[in-house]
A and B are shown apart, each in its own frame.
Chain A
Amino acid sequence: MTTASALSGIAASRGDTTWPAIACDDVTVRFISESRVVTALEKVSFAVAPGGFLSLLGPSGCGKSTLLRVVADLIQPSSGMMRVFGGTPEEARTARALGFVFQDAALLPWRNAIDNVSLPLEVGGGVKLGPNDPKPVDLLRLVGLSGWEKSYPHELSGGMRQRVAIARALLGGPKLLLMDEPFGALDEITRDRLNEELRRIWMETGTTILFVTHSVYEAAYLGEQVLVLSPNPGRVVECVDIDLPRDRDLSVRDTSHFVQLAAHLRGMLGRMHA
Chain B
Amino acid sequence: MSIAAPLDPSLMAAESAFRAEQRRKALRRRIMPVIGIGSFLLLWAGLVYGLKVPPFVAPSPFAVAATLWAKAPMLFENLVPTMIEAFSGFMLGNLSAILIATAFVYKKSLEEAFFPVIVIINTIPVVAKAPILVLLLGNGMEPKIAIAALICFFPTLVNMVRGLQSVNPQAMELMRVLSASQREIFFKLRLPNSLPYLFSALKIAASTAVIGAIVGEWIGSTVGIGALIIQATYAFDSALLYATVIVGSCFSVAFFLLITLIERLTLRRHGPAAQ
- A154 is an interface residue with CB less than 8 A from chain B: yes
- Asked whether A123 lies within 8 Å of B184 as measured between CB atoms, the reply is yes
Chain B residue contacts of A106, Cβ below 8 A: 168, 170-171, 173-174
- Number of chain B residues whose Cβ lies closer than 8 Å to a Cβ of chain A: 23
User: Least Cβ distance of A66 to chain B in Å?
Assistant: 12
In the complex, are the beta carbons of A123 and B171 less than 8 A apart? no
Is B171 within 8 A of A108, CB to CB?
yes
Q: Answer whether residue A202 sits at the interface, using C-beta atoms and an 8 A cutoff.
A: no
Contacts known (A74-B173, A102-B170); A125 close to B269, Cβ less than 8 A: no
Judge whether B192 and A74 touch: CB under 8 Å.
Answer: no
Q: How far is the CB of B204 from chain A (nearest CB, A)?
A: 22
Number of A-B contacts (CB under 8 A): 70
Binding stretch for chain A, among B50-58, B128-136, B175-183, B209-217: B175-183
Q: Which residues of chain B come closer than 8 Å to A93, judged between CB atoms?
A: 177, 179
Shortest Cβ distance from residue B62 to the other chain A in the assembled complex, whole angstroms: 50
* Interface membership of chain A positions 70-107, coded 1 if the CB is closer than 8 angstroms to chain B and 0 otherwise: 00111000000000000000000110101010111010
Residue with the highest number of chain B CB atoms closer than 10 Å, among A94, A98, A102, A111: A102
Q: Are A108 and B192 touching (Cβ within 8 A)?
A: yes
Q: Does B173 contact A123, Cβ atoms closer than 8 Å?
A: no
List residues of chain A with CB within 8 A of the CB of B179. Answer: 93-94, 96, 123-125
Q: Are B271 and A122 in contact (CB under 8 A)?
A: no
Residue of B nearest to A75 (CB): B173
For B188, list chain A residues within 8 Å (CB).
108, 119, 122-123
Q: How far is the CA of A94 from the CA of B178 in the complex (A)?
A: 8
Most buried by B among A73, A111, A154, A155: A154
Hey, which chain B residues are within 8 Å of A94, CB to CB? Answer: 179
A207 / chain B contacts, CB cutoff of 8 Å: none
Question: Chain A residues with Cβ under 8 A from B175's Cβ?
Answer: 123-124
* Binding site secondary structure of chain A: loop
Q: How would you classify the secondary structure of chain B's contact residues: helix, strand, loop or mixed?
A: helix
Digitize A17-60: 1 where CB-to-B-CB distance is under 8 Å, 0 elsewhere. 00000000000000000000000000000000000000000000
Known: A108-B192, A119-B178, A122-B188. A154 touches B271 (CB 8 A): yes
Instruction: Check if B25 is an interface residue, CB within 8 A of chain A.
Output: no
The verdict on B272 contacting chain A, using a C-beta distance below 8 Å, is yes
Is the CB of A206 closer than 8 A to any CB of chain B?
A: no
Whether B14 is near chain A, meaning CB under 8 Å from some CB there, is no
Judge whether B181 and A124 touch: CB under 8 Å.
Answer: yes
Asked whether any CB of chain B lies closer than 8 Å to the CB of A136, the reply is no
Q: B270 contacts the other chain (Cβ, under 8 Å)?
A: yes
Which residue of B168, B176, B181, B184 is within 8 Å of A74 (Cβ)? B176
The answer on a CB contact under 8 Å between B180 and A72 is: no
Contact with B along A114-153 (1 / 0, CB 8 A): 0000011011110000000000000000000000000011
> Which residues of chain A have C-beta atoms less than 8 A from B274's C-beta?
109
**A111-B270 Cα distance, complex, nearest whole Å:** 8
- Closest Cβ–Cβ distance, residue A186 to chain B (whole Å): 16
Given contacts A93-B177, A124-B184, 14 further A-B contacts (CB under 8 A): A73-B176, A94-B179, A103-B170, A108-B171, A109-B271, A109-B274, A110-B192, A110-B195, A111-B269, A122-B188, A123-B184, A124-B175, A124-B178, A154-B272
Subset of 18 A-B contacts with CB under 8 Å: A69-B173, A72-B177, A96-B179, A100-B177, A102-B174, A106-B168, A106-B174, A108-B188, A108-B192, A109-B274, A110-B192, A119-B188, A123-B181, A124-B178, A124-B179, A153-B271, A154-B271, A154-B272
Which 6 pairs show the lowest CB-CB distances between chains A and B? A154-B271, A124-B179, A123-B180, A106-B170, A102-B170, A123-B184
Interface residues of B (CB under 8 A from A): 168, 170-171, 173-181, 184, 188-189, 192, 195, 269-274
